Amino acid sequence: MKKRRVQARILRVIILCSLLAAMSIALKQLSINLGSDIRIGFENLPTIFAGVTCGPIAGACVGVVADIVGGVAIYGSIIPGITVGACVIGLVSGLAYYIGKINHFPLILQVVIADASAHIIGSLLVKTAVLSHQYGNPFFILLATRSLTYLIVMILETALIYILLRNKMVSGGLDRLVGNKQKRGKRG
């Protein structure tokens, strides 16, 4: 009986992660490209949401699947280093959220730490290094231009994730779907 419950939970998490990966691919298509190095978009939002709600491994898997499938579908190929960056975004967001949760930080702080750390490490450091190497642009100049873009994206993503987690219908649905009966953090 317990084994079936665990298997059902795993299946529900896989289904949720598949939907989030598909959402990430759709959001990638809605991105605005500002040259070859800078893109304003929210394709990382579902990856971070998966890391926060389903854990770091699920977040990493969503990032990898979304980047590979989206890269092949949209551009015809992938850049492996960018895929690693997407994996890092999901992994770091889940780990950072978990650390905030076990330390009983307020929910808003948990989400800020998860989103900011994921973008600083995954988007700004890993992906910028890969793009710098790929296109031959100086790393620090590229980092400076991408930092402003990701600051805006981080603020908007943090607000959206916080609003979703505070919504009783969404958090209740996640609790039933993922089987997480724990509190999502202090209100605040």
Q: Which domains does the chain have, with CATH numbers?
A: 2-178 (1.10.1760.20)
Q: Over 80: is that where the pLDDT of 38 sits?
A: no
* 34 strand-pairing partners: 38
According to the model, what pLDDT value does residue 137 have? 87
- DSSP H helical ranges for 32-138: 45-54, 56-75, 80-102, 107-118, 128-135
- Express each pLDDT in 113-157 by its tens digit: 999 999 999 999 999 999 999 888 899 998 998 898 889 999 999
- Express each pLDDT in 65-121 by its tens digit: 999 999 999 888 899 999 999 999 999 999 999 999 999 999 999 999 999 999 999
According to the model, what pLDDT value does residue 101 have? 93
End-to-end C-alpha distance for the chain, whole angstroms: 38
Which run of H or E residues covers position 38? Answer: strand 38-40
- The pLDDT of 34-50, averaged and rounded, is 84
- Express each pLDDT in 156-178 by its tens digit: 999 999 999 998 888 888 877 77
